[in-house]
Amino acid sequence: KTVIQAEIDAACELTDFLRFNAYYAQEVYKYQPISPSNEVSNTYRLRSLEGFVAAISPFNFSAIAGNLSSAPALMGNAVVWKPSSTALLSNWIIYKIFEEAGFAPGVISFLPSKPLDFSDHVISSPDLAAVNFTGSVATFQTIWRNVADNLTKNKTFPRMIGECGGKDFHLIHPSADLQTAITQTARAAFEYSGQKCSACSRLYVPKSIWPKIEVGLLDITSKLKLGSPLEFDTFLSAVIDGASFKRIKGCIDYAENDDNHKILIGGQATFEKGFFVEPTIIVTTDPHSKLITNEIFGPVLTVFVYDDNKIDQTMELIDSSTPYGLTGAIFANDKKFLQKSIDRLKYSAGNLYINDKCTGAVVGQQPFGGARVSGTNDKAGAPHYLLRWVSPQNIKQTNVPLHDWSYPYMSSAK
């Protein structure tokens, strides 16, 4: 991350998670059921889960890692935390801060490990009560299968909470403010080298305004500095590791060698001084291209230009051409179209933005999460998320003795 992006994540957002979760915990504990008279009192308590929570965090956000491990602990659970192998130091510092802040030793166990070892010794434990995960679809599916295979050994049915990325869209309508759409798209696609699960990676533009959108995007992209994250004028830096670099470069190479694709800008990838990939814009004539349907997790934006009179078909493409459903954005000033598109695309994104980029959810303002293969949509940053880490119990106490086994209606029937 660049300096500012890192501060937003590791300092500001993590602090927000801790403060809002503490506040939400106070609020969810306030609920009590109705006690209709002095004869009966009903109470409702929230117990910790019976067992431990396995927290598996990604490399790309320190705030996510801190929240995955601390939220279940805040609600009374023991947590075994597996950090990403490419984020060990930052996560270790967070863990030590938690201990210094007062989490009892052992409440959160920091356990760097290989995925297979973690699965064999943690996920397969009969005491597993829940999995709190952020990462790839394939990994979460594997974990879910492993949990299912062990159900006959488990003391409870483990809860599965996961966020798995997306193939996030920007849809531009002819009525949109063009400069807003251009600027927001460039930011959403290329900040943090596209290594956000919410990053804009597919753009749908009407043919009538594509020439202006193209000029604007190329102008901004040509000015984005790719360099050291420690320099304040840097917009994006290296991708995380060699495997990521190879995957992203493979997508660019595919576009270079396929007649349905054209690279408009960028496309260079070099690892002489790090795993640097230029911000890249590709236009395709194939709305089902793998660059449109598959998550890339890098600074690659794929554009599909649609006929103005095929906006309904385009929304169908947006909704059906990928299995994801995380974030999306609609740019339009036509109020009737906005209402129509918000309804039509309601299942395409767990976080939907109007005339704003599809990244940058703020804790307490835009609770975050998606459905379909993007995850279980449990909305981190909202009160509902904390309810996943407790097991409610209702207690009824009768305060008046009962000596007669029969009911009053029985005597009246005679």
Is 163 an active-site residue?
yes
Q: Residue 308 in contact with residue 204, Cβ under 8 Å?
A: no
Q: Residue 244 in contact with residue 297, Cβ under 8 Å?
A: yes
Among 13, 163, 214, 278, the one annotated catalytic: 163
Residue type for position 53: V
Among 197, 200, 251, 358, the one annotated catalytic: 197
Report residue 132 as tokens: 């709190």
Cα–Cα distance for residue pair 148/306, rounded to 1 Å: 43
- Give the other-Cβ count within 10 Å of 319's Cβ: 17
Measuring CA to CA, which residue among 50, 130, 48, 17 is closest to residue 383? 17
Q: Residue 81 in contact with residue 118, Cβ under 8 Å?
A: no
- Cβ neighbours of residue 76 closer than 8 Å, sequence gap 6 or more: 47, 48, 389, 390
Cα–Cα distance for residue pair 165/134, rounded to 1 Å: 8
List the Cα angle 40/31/49 in 5-degree steps.
Answer: 100
Residue type for position 74: L
Helix, strand, coil tally for the chain in percent (to 5): 40, 20, 40
Q: Residue 332 in contact with residue 173, Cβ under 8 Å?
A: yes
Q: Is 368 helix (H, G, I), strand (E, B) or coil?
A: strand
Q: Residue 81 in contact with residue 55, Cβ under 8 Å?
A: yes
Give Dmax over CA atoms of the chain in angstroms.
96
Distance from the Cα of residue 98 to its chain's centroid: 23
Residue type for position 357: K
Cα–Cα distance for residue pair 331/172, rounded to 1 Å: 5
Is 12 an active-site residue?
no
Cα–Cα distance for residue pair 204/181, rounded to 1 Å: 11
Report the catalytic residues. 163, 197
